[in-house]
Amino acid sequence: MDELQSLWQGFAVALTAQNVLLMFLGITLGVLIGVLPGLGGANGIAILLPLTFTMSPTSAIIMLSCIYWGALFGGAITSILFNIPGEPWSVATTFDGHPMAQQGRAGEALTAAFTGSFVGALVAVVMITFLAPLVAEFALKFGPPEYFAVYLLAFCSFVGMGKGSPWKTIAAMMLGFAMAAVGMDTVTGQLRLTFGSTELMRGFDFLVAVIGLFGIGEILLTMEEGLEFKGRSARINARVVLETWAQLPKFWATSLRACLIGCWMGVTPGGATPASFMSYGVAKNISKNGHNFGKGEMEGVVAPETAAHAAGTSALLPMLALGIPGSPTAAVLLGGLLIWGLQPGPLLFVEQKEFVWGLIASMYLGNIVGLIVVLTTVPLFAAILRVPFSIIAPIIIVVCAIGAFTVHNAMLDVWLMMLFGVAGYVFKKLDYPMAPMVLALVLGDRAEDSFRQAMLMSQGSLSILWSNWLVGSITAGALLLLFWPLITALRARRAGGA
Amino acid sequence: MSQGGGRSAAAVTTGTMEIVVALLFFGVGALVAWDSWRLGASWGMDGPEAGYFPMRIGLLICVSAAVVLAQGYRHRHAGRETFVERGQLRDVLSILVPAVVYVLGIQLIGIYVASAIYVAMFMALLGGYRWLRSIAVGAAVGLSAFVLFEFWFGIPLPKGFVERALGF
């Protein structure tokens, strides 16, 4: 078992005093980010990323990934206590979590949510431990056409699995690619889309886009809803925790299904949000207590939370093994790898063993630390939520502005952040999806490079995407996903006509 | 949601916004395609030219924007829903306009002083807090950001005449 040995070495890397301290710091910051409106996993990490430029990559990724776990945990707190999902993937948690809190069972709901999250994340990390090295080894055989086909698959799956209009998904995604093209062309050195501006030569940085779209945009939406925090108080003590844990094993089947759904949706770029809804729906249909869902059923908290964490964690698998992130937050982490001078992709498992296994080991440790931190500090974070919005909102905007500036020490980026904020607000209201746009912005250059290299190999003929069984089947899968909305529409029409 | 009354009157309908955004997308797509075509979007001596890939991206933006536009026109009756109510728009602008002024302030007087003034003004004028308390919180935010970035992280943020006068 090579993996176990590597994992063991990874624990040795992750378990230094400094790294454990960073884990606690990361989790605490992450929960805070998950709890506050306008700050989420993706833009929270984007804001803090510039501060890690001087750290060693392993320590930096440990802290940032712990922020990610913390944000996943934090979303549940606001959903259950305040009926306000702090993150999109915790919307489904409000369905049963908040009714439980209204019945005075907030402690139970929180314990169930946190434990479910922990289980989901743990299953996903075990999967990453054993599957990621295999995927990476397989991907070492990939050439440019295969890579472009995998990118195509990732982006087509947004079109196929997205809920809104496929045309809006394509438009938003292509806008991301267009923004990625701005600046100096990496191959010919020509300036593209800069229109004579030297400031635009840097191109659009995805960190600035993420801070604007998800940060400022979210604040504007929150303001529009005229948000008032009316929360339930929560008390968690050892007795509640132990009593809840005693009840949880009977939901093993629901948890297992949630883990499977989560892992699948996380590896394919479906993401945590659809995974949590799907898991909730499946649990509601299958469970004996299905009719009670929505009225405060503990199973209805476990199902979405477990799936969301499984998805959020397994989104790191394609990022590590292929260099293709499964979620916007994973995309930001991938951007971090590039900034630290690491080349994401299968070679990472060969050349940066210490980094990869340190990260995987820290996922195990980080989730244990996370469970401890959230179970002990819920009242503290609930108190932070009672700070009025008119104090929190300007401070968050200040934090976003500092975050956007520090990316390149450029004032233009702060203005762009505001522009992205307005765009984020409008896109959200009109159902233009932001995740594919951010992913396209992050991956644009790499996708273009592999496309150009593939075209060079074939002298400009697209037939290279079908030149062998491997690239052919990936391309075929991508096209199937791309035309999936059309296929389902035709089938629905036929069923309706019959 | 209550019908009628000043607050729930629509400032903009969803249909109008759909058209405006789709037109913007189309414009951006056309701009991208045009600039790529200018650079050369065909097959050069040694492979694809610089505009080869972005040209296709730009055209795809135009095509999808055109479809969204057409769909918006076909379902124009559904587009009469409210995109944003007047009261909501006022709330959103009440946070957006000060934020834009704040960014302008960063450029003119540096980020620390601008942040302090921004937080204090926001709390006092929009949150209805007493001036003393607002100024205290604002000053605390500005000062802690200064200490954090200037001394701890060592990352230079934009400074203005106040910091210069103090010798930083």
Q: How many Å apart are CA A241 and CA A374, to the nearest integer?
A: 12
Sorting pLDDT into bands at 50, 70 and 90, what band is A402?
very high
Is residue B71's pLDDT more than 60? yes
Q: Do A178 and B53 touch (CB under 8 A)?
A: no
Is residue A34's pLDDT more than 50? yes
Residues in chain A, total: 498
Is residue B2's pLDDT more than 60? no
Is residue A37's pLDDT more than 50? yes
Q: Do B54 and A177 touch (CB under 8 A)?
A: yes
pLDDT at B139: 95
Strand partners, B159: B110
Helices A252-267 and A272-286 cross at an angle (nearest 10°) of 150
Q: How many Å apart are CA A221 and CA A394, to the nearest integer?
A: 14
Which amino acid makes up residue A30?
G
Segment A280-288 shows an average pLDDT of 86
Is residue A40's pLDDT more than 90? no
Sign, CA torsion A26/A32/A35/A37: negative
**A489 interfaces chain B, CB cutoff of 8 Å:** no
pLDDT at A86: 66
pLDDT at A24: 92
Taking all residues of chain A, what is their mean pLDDT, rounded to a whole number?
86
| Residues B19-69: tens digit of each pLDDT | 999 999 999 999 999 999 988 888 877 778 888 889 999 999 999 999 999
**A464 interfaces chain B, CB cutoff of 8 Å:** no
The b-or-e profile of A227-249 (16+ CB within 10 A means b, else e) is: eebebbebebeeebbeebeeebe
Q: Provide, as residue numbers in chain B, all residues whose Cβ is less than 8 Å from the Cβ of A409.
A: 156
Is residue B1's pLDDT more than 50? no
How many degrees, rounded to 5, is the angle at CA A376 between CA A370 and CA A380? Answer: 105
Q: What is the SS3 assignment for A83?
A: coil
ipTM: 0.91
Q: How many Å apart are CA A81 and CA A99, to the nearest integer?
A: 9
Domain total of chain A: 1
Q: Provide, as residue numbers in chain B, all residues whose Cβ is less than 8 Å from the Cβ of A55.
A: none
Beta strands, E only, B62-116: 82-85
| Residues A342-380: tens digit of each pLDDT | 888 888 888 888 888 988 998 899 999 999 998 888 878
Residue of A nearest to B111 (CA): A402
pLDDT at B96: 93
Q: From residue A104, how far is each of A33, A98, A300, B3, B92 by CA, in Å?
A: 26, 10, 17, 35, 35
Task: Note the maximum CA span of chain A.
Answer: 69
**B108 interfaces chain A, CB cutoff of 8 Å:** no
Torsional class of B47: left (φ above 0), alpha (ψ -120 to 50), beta (otherwise) = left
| Residues A300-327: tens digit of each pLDDT | 999 999 998 898 888 888 888 888 887 7
Cβ contacts below 8 Å, chain A against chain B, sum to 159
Is residue B4's pLDDT more than 50? no
- Report the residue of A185, A221, A391, A446 to disrupt the B interface, i.e. the one with the largest count of B CBs within 10 Å: A391
- DSSP character at residue A289: T
| H or E segment to which residue B48 belongs | strand B47-48
- From the CA of B3, how many Å to the nearest CA of chain A? 17
Is residue A268's pLDDT more than 80? no
Residue B109, class by beta-carbon neighbours within 10 Å (0-12 exposed, 13-18 middle, 19+ buried)? middle
Range with lowest mean pLDDT among A78-87, A211-220, A231-240, A306-315: A231-240
- From the CA of A174, how many Å to the nearest CA of chain B? 6
DSSP β-ladder status, A191-192 and B43-44: unpaired
Beta strands, E only, A124-260: 183-184, 191-192
pLDDT at A229: 54
Q: Provide, as residue numbers in chain A, all residues whose Cβ is less than 8 Å from the Cβ of B49.
A: 188
DSSP β-ladder status, B82-85 and B10-13: antiparallel
Is residue A152's pLDDT more than 80? yes
- Report the residue of B61, B86, B100 to disrupt the A interface, i.e. the one with the largest count of A CBs within 10 Å: B61
The domain of A317 spans: 2-497
| Residues A403-429: tens digit of each pLDDT | 999 888 899 999 999 999 999 999 989
Instruction: Work out the percent of chain A whose per-residue pLDDT is above 70.
Output: 96
**B137 interfaces chain A, CB cutoff of 8 Å:** yes
- From the CA of B165, how many Å to the nearest CA of chain A? 22
Which one of A193, A402, A432 has the shortest CB-CB distance to B111? A402
Which one of B21, B28, B115 has the shortest CB-CB distance to A426? B21
**Neighbouring C-beta atoms of residue B131, cutoff 10 Å:** 12
- From the CA of A353, how many Å to the nearest CA of chain B? 29
Is residue A90's pLDDT more than 50? yes
Is residue A454's pLDDT more than 70? yes
Is residue A87's pLDDT more than 80? no
- From the CA of A427, how many Å to the nearest CA of chain B? 9
| Residues B93-142: tens digit of each pLDDT | 988 999 999 999 999 999 999 999 999 999 998 888 899 999 999 999 99
- DSSP character at residue B110: B
Q: Do B145 and A430 touch (CB under 8 A)?
A: no
**A387 interfaces chain B, CB cutoff of 8 Å:** no
pLDDT at B3: 39
Q: How many Å apart are CA A336 and CA A323, to the nearest integer?
A: 12
Residue A494, class by beta-carbon neighbours within 10 Å (0-12 exposed, 13-18 middle, 19+ buried)? exposed
Torsional class of A303: left (φ above 0), alpha (ψ -120 to 50), beta (otherwise) = alpha
Sorting pLDDT into bands at 50, 70 and 90, what band is A232?
low
Closest CA to A215 of A72, A71, A425, A383: A425
